[in-house]
Chain A
Amino acid sequence: MTDRQPPVLRATGLAKSFGHVQALRHGELTVHAGEVVALVGDNGAGKSTLISCISGTHLPDAGEVRVDDRPMPLGSIKAAMEHGIATVYQGLAMAPDLSVAENLFLSCELRRPGLLGRLGLLDKKAMRERAWELMDSLGITTLQDVTLPVGDLSGGQRQVVAVARAVSRAGRLVIMDEPTAALGARQSQMVIETIRATRDRGLGVVLISHDLPRVLEVADRIVVMRLGRVVADVPARDLKIGQIVALMLGEQNDPREESLPA
């Protein structure tokens, strides 16, 4: 693979408490370019907290995040974005009244060339065209019109737009928090295909999901968390669903492991 290059992301020793609750005790995550790493664990295992520390939503109490072996300032969404990290949040982060194109470029709007652009005028045509190109390049065929309000789209379409936006902004790494939650089988498949297209662009992908069959379908490596710690980091091809569940529940030495339903 790309082992000779430094990993896109190396997070070490991340810890975060909320009041008395130690949500994250020892968070570690390494992601290489062109690799999908699935982050799995039971509810409250600390997955979302770990991701929030990496994406800048939370300021960790301890730990370090390096992007391309350069340290990244923590606790700032902007700093994370500037380091090429983009996040697809659970519950998305879309403005439903704005169009697909407007959402894709929200806070990164394209301006017109010349004086008009310096006055702040937007280049809406260029944004529509670039939105179209982006969708095409990710193999997204489900959208008819990038000028539709995002609120008029189906759940799967919205998710795909959210992923496309993250991909267009991420120079290095896309983090996706439950991208297939609440989606039907066909819509989930659409999202999984977009994740593959993202990886094939050479971006690192971190995927949080409870949907283990789909995780195994798309992930290259699986990182299991339990009680705020990373308890396993294994190539996906070496794992079966039953083994992942056992790791999540802390039963990895349990002899029943083999008989858990796949």
Chain B
Amino acid sequence: MTATQPTLRAPSNRARAGALIRSTPAYIVVALVALVVVFTIISPEGRFLDATNLQAVGRNSAGLVLLAVGLTFVLGAGHIDLSVGATLVLSSVVAGTVAVDIAGPPSASGAFPSAGPAIAVAALAAVVVGGIAGLVNGLLVTKLKVNSFVVTLGTMGVATGTAQVLTNGSNVAGIPPDVQTSFGLNSVAGIPLPLVLAVVVALVAGVVLSQTSAGRHALAIGSSSDGAMRAGVNVQRSTIAVFVISGLMAGIAGFLDITRFGTTAISGHETTMLQALSAVIIGGTSLFGGRASVLGSVLATFIPTMLLAGFVMVGVSSFYQNIAIGAVLIIAVWLDQLRGK
């Protein structure tokens, strides 16, 4: 009261370094390193550490990374998006159908006359479908004021059903294989292109979440929607924005799916949403909003994909992956609570 010395202090660099070491991403890095070491030791001839295997892990992670990035915004804003897996499927189906239509019938040599434009338009279609799905979720949540769990549970069914109606339930065949050879199976400096794309998108998303007004507003409404509104935040716009981001991510992931398999995988994504959601929560984003970390989500995404690759390599049924992720999810949240936050 009487002294004139400054009473507010900025945290020291040492305090910041300490906080970084205690942060969730640091724990995940330790867990990932442990997984690599364990699987390398028990895999035949240490093949887990092979470039081919690690590339496969990276390629399989790309779509999941994108979904997790989108969900980080949604959870950070205090909502949930159960429809990301279904949106991924719908986007891939629309993109696949568009690609087949534009590419035209293949010549005798198997080459498609307009494969290039077909792929470009397909990519755009996937992103647009994802964006629209996100916009619908956002509008339903903000305008009808229906809980996002219920809204996205509903749109999950709608998106899955629409994808099935469009193709009669079968996967889209006849997509030009160029989509795989030109992008999906390519690498730069040994890193699969889809993963490069996902990481670049994640970097941008991480900057948006932690360094821009839009990111602050998303976390503010997740922390207290009423408080944010009274502080002058446009809560509706921010809410719609996080769902659109989530939808766009699912759309891009839907396109990546085609570039990976050369076809759609309608029934291959039953657990995708749960994997992405688990990764986001393991990565330190609060299920109740207000706290979110894109870095944590991205790192945690590699836990399920590494587990799967490791199990396959050491001859354990891939079904155990789901069990392992379920256990990791609960342990991670429990540890987070123990750290007292």
Contacts and interface: CB of A to CB of B under 8 A. Distances in A.
A93 B230 contact: yes
A147 B16 CA distance: 11
Interface in B210-258: 211-214, 216-217, 219-224, 226-233
B9 interface: yes
A98 B215 CA distance: 11
B11 interface: yes
Contacts of B229: 77, 93
A144 B9 contact: yes
Given A95-B220, A106-B220, A77 B230 contact: yes
Nearest to B16: A147
A124 B216 CA distance: 11
B315 interface: no
Given A78-B232, A95-B224, A107 B212 contact: no
Contacts of B223: 95-98
B290 A108 contact: no
Nearest to A57: B230
Of listed B1, B208, B211, residue having the most chain A CB within 10 A: B211
B216 A109 contact: yes
A131 B231 CA distance: 16
A102 B220 CA distance: 9
A22 B38 CA distance: 71
Interface SS of A by simple majority: loop
Interface string A85-119: 00101001111111000110011110100000000
A143 interface: yes
Interface residues of B, number: 33
B8 interface: yes
A219 B1 CA distance: 23
Contact of B224 (A96, A120, A131, A144): A96
Interface string B185-224: 0000000000000000000000110011110110111111
Given A93-B226, A93-B227, A122-B213, A136 B6 contact: yes
Nearest to A142: B7
Nearest to B231: A106
Interface centre among B10, B207, B214 (most CB of A within 10 A): B10
A147 B19 CA distance: 13
Contacts of B233: 106-107
Contact of A141 (B1, B213, B214, B228): B1
A95 B219 contact: yes
Contacts of B9: 144-145
A93 B221 CA distance: 11
Given A93-B226, A141-B1, A135 B8 contact: yes
Contacts of B208: 120
A145 B8 contact: yes
B214 A98 contact: no
A95 B8 contact: no
B260 interface: no
A52 B291 CA distance: 31
A165 interface: yes
A202 to B, nearest CB: 23
Contact of B8 (A87, A146, A165): A146
A121 interface: yes
A229 interface: no
Contacts of A96: 223-224, 227, 290
A132 B9 CA distance: 9
Contacts of A111: 213
A128 interface: yes
A127 to B, nearest CB: 10
A122 B290 contact: no
Contact of A147 (B1, B10, B220, B289): B10
A52 B216 CA distance: 26
A81 interface: yes
A121 B211 contact: yes
Given A97-B223, A109-B216, A135-B8, A121 B207 contact: yes
**Which of B1, B211, B227, B232 is most buried by chain A, counting CB atoms within 10 A of its CB?**
B227
Contact of B216 (A77, A98, A136): A98
A122 B231 contact: no
Given A77-B230, A107-B233, A97 B222 contact: yes
Contacts of A77: 229-230, 232
B10 A122 contact: no
Given A132-B8, A146-B8, A122 B216 contact: yes
Interface in B1-47: 1, 6-11
A183 to B, nearest CB: 18
A143 B8 contact: yes
Interface of B: 1, 6-11, 207-208, 211-214, 216-217, 219-224, 226-233, 286, 289-291
30 contacts: A81-B232, A89-B230, A93-B228, A93-B231, A95-B221, A95-B290, A96-B290, A97-B219, A97-B222, A97-B223, A97-B290, A98-B223, A102-B216, A103-B231, A106-B216, A106-B217, A106-B232, A107-B213, A107-B217, A124-B211, A132-B8, A136-B6, A136-B8, A141-B1, A141-B7, A144-B7, A145-B9, A145-B10, A145-B11, A147-B11
By Cβ-Cβ distance, the 3 closest A-B pairs, closest first, are A97-B290, A93-B230, A107-B232
